[in-house]
Protein backbone atom coordinates (compact mmCIF):
# COMPACT_ATOMS: atom_id res chain seq x y z
CA UNK A 1 0.00 0.00 0.00
CA UNK A 2 0.98 3.58 -0.65
CA UNK A 3 -0.56 5.73 2.07
CA UNK A 4 -0.66 9.52 2.05
CA UNK A 5 -2.33 12.60 3.49
CA UNK A 6 -3.34 15.53 1.32
CA UNK A 7 -5.25 18.79 1.43
CA UNK A 8 -4.89 22.26 2.99
CA UNK A 9 -2.87 22.59 6.19
CA UNK A 10 -5.00 21.55 9.13
CA UNK A 11 -7.56 19.89 6.85
CA UNK A 12 -5.53 16.96 5.55
CA UNK A 13 -7.41 13.82 4.56
CA UNK A 14 -6.11 10.24 4.46
CA UNK A 15 -5.85 8.52 1.09
CA UNK A 16 -4.06 5.76 -0.74
CA UNK A 17 -2.59 5.50 -4.20
CA UNK A 18 -4.45 2.78 -6.07
CA UNK A 19 -2.65 0.43 -8.43
CA UNK A 20 -4.42 2.16 -11.34
CA UNK A 21 -2.68 5.42 -10.43
CA UNK A 22 -5.73 7.16 -8.97
CA UNK A 23 -5.94 8.66 -5.52
CA UNK A 24 -8.59 6.95 -3.36
CA UNK A 25 -10.18 8.67 -0.37
CA UNK A 26 -9.92 6.89 2.99
CA UNK A 27 -11.66 9.51 5.12
CA UNK A 28 -14.95 7.55 5.23
CA UNK A 29 -13.26 4.50 6.75
CA UNK A 30 -10.66 6.03 9.09
CA UNK A 31 -10.12 9.42 10.72
CA UNK A 32 -6.48 9.80 9.70
CA UNK A 33 -3.26 7.86 9.13
CA UNK A 34 -1.54 7.71 12.49
CA UNK A 35 0.11 5.27 14.89
CA UNK A 36 -3.00 3.07 15.16
CA UNK A 37 -3.20 2.65 11.40
CA UNK A 38 0.54 1.89 11.19
CA UNK A 39 0.32 -1.00 13.64
CA UNK A 40 0.28 -4.54 12.23
CA UNK A 41 -3.46 -4.78 12.96
CA UNK A 42 -4.12 -1.37 11.44
CA UNK A 43 -2.21 -2.16 8.25
CA UNK A 44 -3.94 -5.54 7.98
CA UNK A 45 -7.33 -3.83 8.21
CA UNK A 46 -6.36 -1.37 5.49
CA UNK A 47 -5.11 -4.18 3.28
CA UNK A 48 -8.55 -5.82 3.45
CA UNK A 49 -10.23 -2.77 1.93
CA UNK A 50 -11.06 -3.06 -1.76
CA UNK A 51 -9.38 0.15 -2.93
CA UNK A 52 -11.37 0.02 -6.16
CA UNK A 53 -14.57 0.75 -4.22
CA UNK A 54 -13.21 3.93 -2.62
CA UNK A 55 -14.01 7.35 -4.13
CA UNK A 56 -11.50 8.82 -6.56
CA UNK A 57 -10.32 12.25 -5.39
CA UNK A 58 -8.05 14.88 -6.93
CA UNK A 59 -4.67 15.26 -5.29
CA UNK A 60 -4.28 18.32 -3.11
CA UNK A 61 -1.24 19.59 -1.26
CA UNK A 62 0.78 16.60 -0.03
CA UNK A 63 1.50 16.56 3.69
CA UNK A 64 3.73 14.23 5.69
CA UNK A 65 2.09 10.85 4.91
CA UNK A 66 1.19 10.08 8.52
CA UNK A 67 0.58 11.96 11.75
CA UNK A 68 1.58 11.28 15.34
CA UNK A 69 5.36 11.27 14.82
CA UNK A 70 7.10 11.56 18.19
CA UNK A 71 10.72 11.06 17.17
CA UNK A 72 12.66 11.92 13.99
CA UNK A 73 15.94 10.04 14.40
CA UNK A 74 18.85 10.15 11.98
CA UNK A 75 21.92 8.06 11.24
CA UNK A 76 25.07 9.79 10.01
CA UNK A 77 27.86 8.59 7.72
CA UNK A 78 26.07 5.34 6.92
CA UNK A 79 27.54 4.94 3.41
CA UNK A 80 31.27 4.26 3.18
CA UNK A 81 31.72 6.37 0.07
CA UNK A 82 29.91 9.32 1.69
CA UNK A 83 32.17 9.05 4.76
CA UNK A 84 35.15 9.19 2.39
CA UNK A 85 33.93 12.34 0.64
CA UNK A 86 33.35 13.94 4.06
CA UNK A 87 36.92 13.00 5.10
CA UNK A 88 35.56 11.14 8.11
CA UNK A 89 36.36 7.60 9.29
CA UNK A 90 33.85 4.79 8.78
CA UNK A 91 31.99 4.55 12.08
CA UNK A 92 32.29 1.42 14.20
CA UNK A 93 28.76 1.96 15.52
CA UNK A 94 25.89 3.98 14.04
CA UNK A 95 26.20 7.74 14.50
CA UNK A 96 22.88 8.87 15.95
CA UNK A 97 21.43 12.38 16.04
CA UNK A 98 17.95 13.86 15.96
CA UNK A 99 16.01 16.10 13.65
CA UNK A 100 13.19 18.06 15.24
CA UNK A 101 9.73 16.71 14.54
CA UNK A 102 8.75 20.26 13.57
CA UNK A 103 11.15 20.21 10.60
CA UNK A 104 9.08 17.50 8.89
CA UNK A 105 7.10 18.79 5.91
CA UNK A 106 5.45 17.35 2.82
CA UNK A 107 7.54 16.20 -0.12
CA UNK A 108 7.02 19.30 -2.27
CA UNK A 109 7.07 21.92 0.48
CA UNK A 110 9.48 24.86 -0.04
CA UNK A 111 12.88 24.51 1.63
CA UNK A 112 13.45 27.78 3.48
CA UNK A 113 17.05 28.69 4.25
CA UNK A 114 17.71 29.86 7.82
CA UNK A 115 18.76 33.45 8.34
CA UNK A 116 22.43 33.82 7.44
CA UNK A 117 22.75 30.31 6.05
CA UNK A 118 25.64 29.87 3.60
CA UNK A 119 26.18 26.08 3.71
CA UNK A 120 22.79 24.41 3.43
CA UNK A 121 23.08 21.01 1.77
CA UNK A 122 20.99 18.18 0.32
CA UNK A 123 20.83 14.46 1.24
CA UNK A 124 18.52 11.83 -0.27
CA UNK A 125 17.80 9.17 2.36
CA UNK A 126 15.70 6.10 3.03
CA UNK A 127 13.15 6.70 5.78
CA UNK A 128 12.03 3.84 8.04
CA UNK A 129 8.64 4.23 9.76
CA UNK A 130 8.00 2.28 12.95
CA UNK A 131 4.71 0.38 13.21
CA UNK A 132 4.97 -1.41 16.55
CA UNK A 133 6.88 -0.63 19.73
CA UNK A 134 10.54 -1.68 19.58
CA UNK A 135 12.47 -2.01 22.81
CA UNK A 136 15.60 -4.19 22.98
CA UNK A 137 14.63 -6.05 19.81
CA UNK A 138 17.01 -8.42 18.10
CA UNK A 139 18.32 -7.81 14.61
CA UNK A 140 16.41 -10.90 13.46
CA UNK A 141 13.10 -9.45 14.71
CA UNK A 142 13.74 -5.79 13.90
CA UNK A 143 12.02 -5.58 10.52
CA UNK A 144 8.81 -6.94 12.03
CA UNK A 145 8.53 -3.57 13.83
CA UNK A 146 8.67 -1.57 10.59
CA UNK A 147 5.38 -0.34 9.10
CA UNK A 148 6.92 0.95 5.89
CA UNK A 149 9.40 3.18 4.13
CA UNK A 150 9.52 6.64 2.57
CA UNK A 151 11.77 9.08 0.74
CA UNK A 152 13.39 11.77 2.91
CA UNK A 153 15.55 14.78 2.06
CA UNK A 154 17.76 15.27 5.12
CA UNK A 155 18.47 18.95 4.44
CA UNK A 156 21.46 20.05 6.52
CA UNK A 157 23.18 23.35 7.33
CA UNK A 158 26.83 22.30 7.39
CA UNK A 159 28.20 25.39 9.16
CA UNK A 160 25.69 24.93 11.98
CA UNK A 161 26.31 21.17 12.03
CA UNK A 162 30.11 21.06 11.93
CA UNK A 163 31.53 24.50 12.72
CA UNK A 164 29.39 25.82 15.56
CA UNK A 165 30.38 23.35 18.28
CA UNK A 166 28.36 20.77 20.13
CA UNK A 167 26.29 18.12 18.40
CA UNK A 168 25.11 17.87 14.79
CA UNK A 169 21.50 18.55 15.76
CA UNK A 170 21.60 22.34 15.38
CA UNK A 171 22.28 21.97 11.63
CA UNK A 172 19.64 19.32 11.07
CA UNK A 173 16.37 20.50 12.59
CA UNK A 174 15.80 23.90 10.98
CA UNK A 175 12.26 24.59 9.79
CA UNK A 176 11.45 22.76 6.50
CA UNK A 177 14.65 20.66 6.69
CA UNK A 178 12.79 17.33 6.64
CA UNK A 179 10.70 16.80 3.49
CA UNK A 180 9.01 13.38 3.67
CA UNK A 181 6.97 11.44 1.12
CA UNK A 182 5.14 11.57 -1.22
CA UNK A 183 3.73 8.48 0.47
CA UNK A 184 4.49 5.84 3.04
CA UNK A 185 4.90 2.48 1.28
CA UNK A 186 4.06 -0.55 3.40
CA UNK A 187 6.95 -2.88 4.16
CA UNK A 188 5.35 -5.82 2.37
CA UNK A 189 5.21 -3.84 -0.88
CA UNK A 190 8.82 -2.67 -0.63
CA UNK A 191 10.36 -6.06 0.13
CA UNK A 192 14.11 -5.91 0.73
CA UNK A 193 15.01 -2.39 1.97
CA UNK A 194 18.67 -3.07 1.17
CA UNK A 195 18.12 -3.12 -2.59
CA UNK A 196 16.68 0.29 -3.49
CA UNK A 197 18.26 2.73 -5.94
CA UNK A 198 18.24 6.42 -5.06
CA UNK A 199 19.08 9.71 -6.77
CA UNK A 200 19.04 13.49 -6.35
CA UNK A 201 19.34 16.37 -8.84
CA UNK A 202 19.94 20.08 -8.34
CA UNK A 203 18.48 22.22 -11.12
CA UNK A 204 18.30 19.14 -13.34
CA UNK A 205 21.94 18.13 -12.78
CA UNK A 206 22.50 14.73 -11.19
CA UNK A 207 24.40 15.04 -7.90
CA UNK A 208 23.66 11.81 -6.06
CA UNK A 209 23.30 8.28 -7.39
CA UNK A 210 23.36 5.39 -4.97
CA UNK A 211 21.75 2.31 -3.55
CA UNK A 212 20.80 1.12 -0.10
CA UNK A 213 22.96 -1.94 -0.89
CA UNK A 214 25.99 0.10 0.17
CA UNK A 215 24.73 1.09 3.61
CA UNK A 216 27.24 0.30 6.35
CA UNK A 217 24.52 -0.56 8.87
CA UNK A 218 21.36 -2.18 7.50
CA UNK A 219 17.82 -1.19 8.43
CA UNK A 220 17.54 -4.24 10.69
CA UNK A 221 20.81 -3.39 12.43
CA UNK A 222 19.77 0.24 12.89
CA UNK A 223 16.34 -0.55 14.37
CA UNK A 224 17.83 -3.12 16.72
CA UNK A 225 20.66 -0.77 17.74
CA UNK A 226 18.39 2.22 18.42
CA UNK A 227 15.97 0.10 20.42
CA UNK A 228 18.75 -0.43 22.98
CA UNK A 229 18.99 3.30 23.66
CA UNK A 230 15.38 4.41 23.31
CA UNK A 231 11.91 2.97 22.86
CA UNK A 232 10.79 3.30 19.26
CA UNK A 233 7.06 3.98 19.06
CA UNK A 234 4.58 3.65 16.17
CA UNK A 235 4.88 6.73 13.97
CA UNK A 236 8.54 7.38 14.79
CA UNK A 237 10.77 7.72 11.73
CA UNK A 238 14.45 6.95 11.18
CA UNK A 239 16.36 8.50 8.29
CA UNK A 240 19.24 6.18 7.50
CA UNK A 241 22.05 8.12 5.84
CA UNK A 242 22.94 9.30 2.36
CA UNK A 243 25.12 8.11 -0.54
CA UNK A 244 27.93 10.31 -1.93
CA UNK A 245 27.31 13.47 -3.91
CA UNK A 246 26.25 15.94 -1.23
CA UNK A 247 27.11 19.58 -1.68
CA UNK A 248 30.00 19.70 0.75
CA UNK A 249 31.67 16.84 -1.14
CA UNK A 250 31.49 18.37 -4.62
CA UNK A 251 34.75 18.81 -6.54
CA UNK A 252 36.70 20.97 -7.14
CA UNK A 253 34.79 23.02 -4.54
CA UNK A 254 31.75 22.52 -2.32
CA UNK A 255 28.36 23.63 -3.62
CA UNK A 256 25.52 24.72 -1.37
CA UNK A 257 21.86 25.53 -1.81
CA UNK A 258 20.78 29.04 -2.77
CA UNK A 259 17.44 30.70 -3.28
CA UNK A 260 15.85 29.62 -6.55
CA UNK A 261 17.46 26.18 -6.68
CA UNK A 262 15.16 23.25 -7.44
CA UNK A 263 15.83 19.93 -5.71
CA UNK A 264 14.38 16.74 -7.19
CA UNK A 265 15.01 13.35 -5.65
CA UNK A 266 13.60 9.88 -5.37
CA UNK A 267 14.02 6.32 -4.21
CA UNK A 268 12.99 3.21 -6.11
CA UNK A 269 9.44 2.08 -5.13
CA UNK A 270 9.03 5.03 -2.76
CA UNK A 271 8.31 7.99 -5.03
CA UNK A 272 9.84 11.34 -5.93
CA UNK A 273 10.07 14.77 -4.34
CA UNK A 274 10.51 18.30 -5.67
CA UNK A 275 11.40 21.35 -3.59
CA UNK A 276 12.19 24.95 -4.48
CA UNK A 277 14.70 26.67 -2.22
CA UNK A 278 13.78 30.07 -0.78
CA UNK A 279 15.58 32.72 1.23
CA UNK A 280 14.32 33.14 4.79
CA UNK A 281 10.59 33.89 4.74
CA UNK A 282 8.57 32.81 7.77
CA UNK A 283 5.36 32.99 5.74
CA UNK A 284 6.55 29.97 3.70
CA UNK A 285 7.32 27.78 6.67
CA UNK A 286 3.81 27.00 7.86
CA UNK A 287 2.10 26.91 4.47
Give per-residue pLDDT as tens, 86-126: 777 889 999 999 999 999 999 999 999 999 999 999 999 99
- Model confidence at 205: pLDDT above 90: yes
- Model confidence at 287: pLDDT above 80: no
- Cβ-proximal residues to 159 (8 Å cutoff; 6+ apart), any chain: 117, 118, 119, 171
Q: Which CATH architecture has domain 72-285?
A: Alpha-Beta Complex (3.90)
What pLDDT score does 182 carry?
98
8-66 pLDDT per residue, tens: 999 999 999 999 999 999 999 999 999 999 999 999 999 999 999 999 999 889 999 99
Q: How far apart are CA 150 and CA 270, in angstroms?
A: 6
**How would you classify residue 200: left for phi > 0, otherwise alpha for psi between -120 and 50, otherwise beta?**
beta
Share of the chain above pLDDT 70, in %: 100
Domain boundaries defined on the chain: 2-53, 72-285
What pLDDT score does 85 carry?
79
Of the candidates 222, 97, 48, which has an alpha carbon nearest to the alpha carbon of residue 149? 222
Of the candidates 205, 278, 214, which has an alpha carbon nearest to the alpha carbon of residue 242? 214
Share of the chain above pLDDT 90, in %: 91
- Cβ-proximal residues to 73 (8 Å cutoff; 6+ apart), any chain: 96, 97, 98, 99, 226, 230, 236, 237, 238, 239
Q: How far apart are CA 83 and CA 90, in angstroms?
A: 6
42's enclosing H/E stretch is helix 40-47
User: What is the mean predicted confidence (pLDDT) over 224-253?
Assistant: 96
35's enclosing H/E stretch is helix 35-38
Q: How far apart are CA 37 and CA 44, in angstroms?
A: 9
42-58 pLDDT per residue, tens: 999 999 999 999 999 99
Average pLDDT in the chain: 95
- Model confidence at 80: pLDDT above 90: no
159-199 pLDDT per residue, tens: 998 888 878 888 899 999 999 999 999 999 999 999 999 99
Q: How far apart are CA 178 and CA 258, in angstroms?
A: 17
Amino acid sequence: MKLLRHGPKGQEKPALLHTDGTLRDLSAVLPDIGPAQLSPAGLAALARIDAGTLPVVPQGRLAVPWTGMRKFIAIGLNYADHAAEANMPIPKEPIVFTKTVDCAVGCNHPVVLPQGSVKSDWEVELGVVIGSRARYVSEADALAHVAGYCTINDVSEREYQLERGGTWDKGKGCDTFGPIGPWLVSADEVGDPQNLSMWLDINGVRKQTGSTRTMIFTVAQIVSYLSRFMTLEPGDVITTGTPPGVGMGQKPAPEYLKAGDVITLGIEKLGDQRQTVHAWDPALIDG
